[in-house]
Structure formats: structure tokens, C-alpha cells
Amino acid sequence: MKKLISVMFSLIFMLAGCNEKNGKIDPEQLADITVNNNIEEITEGDFKLTAVSEKKHYKQGEPVQLYAEIEYIGEDESVDIFHSSSAVFFTIKEKVNGFEIGYAVNDIGLQTKLIKNQPFREIYEKTGGYSEHSNKAYVEFVRGFLEEEGFPVGYYIVEMTTDFSVGPAEDRQDHERIKLTATIDFKVEGE
């Protein structure tokens, strides 16, 4: 299973890195883009997902604050959820260049207790990578992303997706799968 996850992760990086853009963004390109939604709430059944970027506009080098909150709003006092490394996956796309920053799955089979009406927060931590097949602009973009404070200049769309199951710990065959996606956007502008 771990090998399959690693292969899928490598393919994501390879495909994301095949873009032929040069990685340079003209400030006028960003000026023409309007940020629509730095907070979004999605409710389905007994769960609510809130996706947040603390700001609509960041300066280059400024820390970007992203997080997701899962809230159980059902009838029970609490519920256990079962998930991998994170109960929320952050898919980040820099839209001007078409670059996508993937995420890693390090663990599986984790369990978290959600207390009714108390949000459980997942804070975004930088991850990313590239392969030997990635183009030079993508490699430079990812290196800058990982090494520098904040995000590189660009317009970002972030999908925060839950991926967990709910049910009794002793019988995971009958678990209900919960997948909610909330999408936000923000810009990072040059200094």
C-alpha cells in the first residue's frame, strides 16, 4: 500500500512539473485577478468544513496562514473519525503558471475524536516535491516554495478536502466515508 501511495505521489509531481511555463509572473497579470473567497463553509449531513486563508492578499516573504476546520454537528456528544496523516488534504494550485503543489501521505489508520460543535483545526504545513522529469521552471518554483518564507508570487486556488470515515472502531467495514471540499483563493504579490 505504501509503495502504491509513493508511486501515485510521484506521478502527481511528474504531471504537475510537465507544464511548459517559465515561472515568471508579470505584476499586471496579478492586478487583473480578483480574489473571490478567502473563507468558505460547506455543510453536509453531520459535518461542516470551513476553509480559511487569513488574508486575501499577502506580500512575498510574508507567512501564508491556511487552515481547515472540521466540525461535528450531529446528535451525539462526540464521534470518532478515521483518517490518514491528515483528516484534510490541501491541494494548492498557482493558476498563472498552472503549477500544482502536491501533498504527502505519511501515515494511515489514525483516529481523532470530534466533540460536538467544537471545530477540529488542521493547519497547513508546506510540502511538495518534483521529479527528474519536472521542467526547470517548476523545479525552481517548488524549491523557492519550500526554502523561502511564505509562497512565491502568484494567484493561488486551494482545495481543502476531508477524507475520513465514521463508524465503530471494531468494524470498519460499515464505515461511512466523508468527503467534503471547500475552495478558497488568495494572491501573493511582489514586495
C-alpha cell at 168: 465503530
How far apart are alpha carbons 48 and 110 in whole angstroms?
20
The amino acid present at 47, given as its one-letter code, is F
Torsion of CA 100, 157, 87, 164, to 10 degrees: -90
> What beta strand segments (E) does 45-127 contain?
47-53, 57-59, 66-72, 78-94, 99-101, 110-115, 120-123
Q: What is the pLDDT of residue 19?
A: 39
**Helix, strand, coil percentages for the chain (3-state, nearest 5):** 20, 40, 40
pLDDT, tens digit, for every residue of 152-175?
999 999 999 998 888 777 776 778
Residues of the chain with pLDDT under 70: 1-23, 104-108, 172
Q: What are phi and psi of 52, to 5 degrees?
A: -140, 135
C-alpha cell at 5: 501511495
How far apart are alpha carbons 47 and 13 in whole angstroms?
31
Q: What is the pLDDT of residue 85?
A: 75
CATH number of 2-189: 2.60.40.1470
Q: What is the pLDDT of residue 20?
A: 42
pLDDT, tens digit, for every residue of 101-119?
877 666 567 789 999 999 9
Q: What is the pLDDT of residue 11?
A: 39
